[in-house]
Structure formats: structure tokens, C-alpha cells
Structure 1
Amino acid sequence: MSVSELDCIRLEPGHAPVRKLLVLLHGYGGDAGDMEPTGRVLRDGLPGTAVVCLNGPEPCAHWVEGRQWFAAMDFDAREVWDGVQVAAPLINRALDAELKHYGLNNRDMVIGGFSQGAMVALHVGPRRYVEPAGLLSFSGVLGGPSNLIEQMLVRPPVMLLQGADDDVVAPMYMEAAEGVLKSAGFDVEAHMIEELEHSIDEEAEAFALKFLRQRFEMDKSAA
């Protein structure tokens, strides 16, 4: 599949030129539209920032109208590790294409995602040749943690957000990712959100917005 086949929803600033880029990857069985509401909230709080919600490359095996970044049945450790490796080349090409589209560089971009999309973001980000501004994970899993130190090329700052009542991606996965990333020298901020299930709520969006403003150097006082 070519980059041109990755449909997307572009949420751009009304009049200001685009100076920063947030790319969001949806969850398993979803599509770019699932990330649009959160994308609009974040875009509206980030002057001069475009938010691009990418569509997964494949039809979802379990929900015919949904999309997936990689095939999965159980989302066990092997499936996640194999899957993120398969997805990575296409995602990297798509990220490069978006940066070229806006005339930006890696340090102007944060890569984020929800659930399966977050798994891909956490895999791709440390393996980019040039460090992105940050990585944003909603309910994600770090695939192949034992391979991180050997394969990583950069250490972008990371925010991990997780619902305490998530019954799809267990909260322990955020704690595990936080530990591995910190041990590898990453700057990690993690928040477990009480009474949140497998979704993104206003509290998660508020944490994400603060992180993005810091990474895009829009709020020097909070850095």
C-alpha cells in the first residue's frame, strides 16, 4: 500500500500558517473519525498547529467498517511486537509525507495514538532517525520492550495516559511501559485517570494539551 492510500482527516488552524504538527493514530476497529473530536480539542488549544488523523491501512478483521494498523486476535505480546514491526515502514513514510506537506521537520511533530494506534506510535517514535518533539499514548502498550535499547535511535519525551477502569488494555501496561522507557533514559510523564474506561475523556485531553504545549514550546512557564 502506498502513502497516498492512507486517507486522513486534516484539522488545520483557521488562518495562521502551520508551524507544528500532531499526527494521531486511531484504535483497532476504529478510523480517523474516531480521533477527530479529540483532535479538534487539541487543535483549538495549539495555535498554528495542524492535527492529522490518519486512517489505518487495512480493513479490520472483526469490524468490517473499521480499520486496523495490523492484524490481531488476542493482542498478546508476540502479536503486538510482530504487528508494530509490520506497520512501522508505512507509518514512517506517512509521517515523512505529512512533514513534507507542511514544510516542517521532525522536531515540529508529535506522534500520538489511542490503543493500537498508541502501540504503533510508541514503537515508531524511538526508531525515527531524527527525534520528534514527543510521543503521546492513550491506552497504549509498548511492544517488544526487551528490544528497545538495542533498536532505539532517539529518546523523545513521552506522555502515557491510561484509564484506571480500562478493561481492554489493562492499566498494568502503562506502568510497564513507564518503567521500561524510564530505564532506557526517556523523559516520561504518566497519568492513571480514575473512573476512565477504554476511551479518552476531558481529563486525558487536558493532560495531553499541557504536554503538547510544552513540547511545542508554547507555554514556557510550564516547561
Structure 2
Amino acid sequence: MIKALSFEKILPDEKKVQNIVVFLHGYGANGNDLLGIGHHWKEQLPNTLFISPNAPFKTEWSQESFQWFDLTSIAPEKIGEGIFKAGPYLNKFVDEVINFYSVSSEKIIFVGFSQGTMMALNHLCKREKPCAGIIGYSGLLYENEDFDNQIKSKFPITLFHGMDDEVINYNFSIKAFEKLKSLGFDIEHKLQKNLGHGIDEDGLNYGLKFIKKIFSI
């Protein structure tokens, strides 16, 4: 059973799960927020399960609104504490998905947006076994003092960020790209003109191309 986090999913028509795409939503959203991308990609990704967990903590204003960590303070140390606190929930969820669907972590791609990207970039590289890859939309990498020494696995990463993002400046993606590349990750990034804090059609196609390459589809 998968109990660590509540979730929404799209099963493959073939009923046989060979690959998995995990969506990690942003602040104040829920599992349904990014699941529509799965419907957009589904026809071109056979035998792929799309699963989208709700973050572990509810916001104060809605029972349908979730957060990986609180944003009442945007001080770097508070964000770091929040990312650290949410890590065990994400890791347990990933372990349960692997066990329930009998797939290896190398068959799972994570797609994060904003807070979800922060969670993916900061936690998946600390797992013993690598995932298939990460697509990070409009996020950033939080580096604590010991980040370099905490890395246990490496995998392909691609970042996509709007240059008009008013919530998380695109320079954070540039910084994440440079840092992870210096640590030996296979990483690329794209900056999108005339795009704010969101994902446009080009971003969806960019992510789909990455997934098809990784899964050899």
C-alpha cells in the first residue's frame, strides 16, 4: 500500500506499469494541479503511470491546498528547515511506490514545479539508488553547508524557467544548473522568454522530449 502521502494517479491503458512519472506540485496546490500534464503526455508515453502526491502539510486557508513547507518566512534558513522536514515524507512515498508497483528507481522520473522542484533537487540525489531523472520547472536548489557530501546518486536533470518569473527569479535555475554541473550531474536548462511563474506549451514539449529520451520511447 501507498500510505505516506495521499495522491492522484493516471494508470496506463495497457495496465502494465513499466515507467513512472511522479509530479511534485508547488506551494498551495494539490496532486491534481500537475496531473493534467499527465493527460497531455499520456498518448506518447505507453506503459507509464503518472502519480501525483499531495504535499504532507495543508495550508491554513483551504483543506484542498497543500504545501511541502511553510512560506510565512522566506529566510534561507527557514526554507532549508522546511525542505529537511518534508524529506522523510517524500522518501517514504517513493519507497512505497517502488514496492507497490515493483519497479526500480531507475524507472521513475520526477517532475517538479516551484516547491516541488526544490524537493526533487534537494532530496533525490541523497537516495542510495538513482532515479531516472528530474524535470524541474521554476524552482531552485537549496544548498546547506554539507550538501556536496550528502550526494549519493547522480542522474540526468533538466531545468525550465520563465524569464519573467515574479515568484522565483530565473537566476536561481542558472545557479542550480552551474552547481549541479560542477558536481558531475548530466544537466541542461532552458530559459523561456515572456513566461512568468508557470509552464507553457514549450515547457510541456521540452519536458516530454526529455522523458522520451530517458525512457527510450
Classify the TM-score, shorter chain: over 0.9
For 1:110, the equivalent position in structure 2 comes to 109
Separation in 2, partners of 1:76, 1:198: 20
Instruction: Structure 1: state its 5+ residue gaps.
Output: 219-223
For 2:154, the equivalent position in structure 1 comes to 155
Deviations 1:83-115 (A, max 9, x none): 111111110110111111211011011122110
Separation in 2, partners of 1:62, 1:130: 37
Separation in 2, partners of 1:100, 1:195: 42
Is contact 1:59-1:66 (8 Å) kept?
yes
Query: TM-score if structure 2 supplies the norm length?
Result: 0.94
Instruction: Structure 2: state its 5+ residue gaps.
Output: none
Separation in 1, partners of 2:37, 2:73: 27
Q: What is the CA-CA distance between 1:69 and the residue it aligns to?
A: 0.8
Q: What is the CA-CA distance between 1:36 and the residue it aligns to?
A: 1.4
Is contact 1:12-1:43 (8 Å) kept?
no
Separation in 1, partners of 2:211, 2:28: 26
In the TM superposition, 1:92-103 aligns within 5 A as 92-103=91-102
Instruction: Give the letter aligned to residue 158 of structure 2.
Output: M
SS of structure 1 residue aligned to 2:134 = strand
Is contact 1:61-1:71 (8 Å) kept?
no
Instruction: Give the letter aligned to residue 136 of structure 2.
Output: S
Query: Cα RMSD between the aligned structures?
Result: 1.7
Is contact 2:29-2:66 (8 Å) kept?
yes
Separation in 1, partners of 2:47, 2:156: 21
Is contact 1:125-1:156 (8 Å) kept?
no
Is contact 1:69-1:87 (8 Å) kept?
yes
For 1:167, the equivalent position in structure 2 comes to 166
SS of structure 1 residue aligned to 2:3 = helix
Is contact 2:56-2:68 (8 Å) kept?
yes
Is contact 1:29-1:62 (8 Å) kept?
no
In the TM superposition, 1:116-195 aligns within 5 A as 116-144=115-143, 146-195=145-194
Q: What is the CA-CA distance between 1:5 and the residue it aligns to?
A: 5.4
For 2:18, the equivalent position in structure 1 comes to 19
Query: TM-score if structure 1 supplies the norm length?
Result: 0.92
Deviations 1:37-75 (A, max 9, x none): 112222332111111011111111455541001122243
Is contact 1:84-1:120 (8 Å) kept?
yes
Separation in 2, partners of 1:147, 1:41: 39
Separation in 2, partners of 1:62, 1:206: 33
Deviations 1:115-173 (A, max 9, x none): 00110011111111101110111111101165331110011111111011110011110
For 1:9, the equivalent position in structure 2 comes to 8
SS of structure 2 residue aligned to 1:75 = coil
Instruction: Give the letter aligned to residue 14 of structure 1.
Output: D
SS of structure 2 residue aligned to 1:113 = strand
For 2:76, the equivalent position in structure 1 comes to 77
Separation in 1, partners of 2:47, 2:59: 34
Aligned length: 217
Identity of aligned residues (%): 29
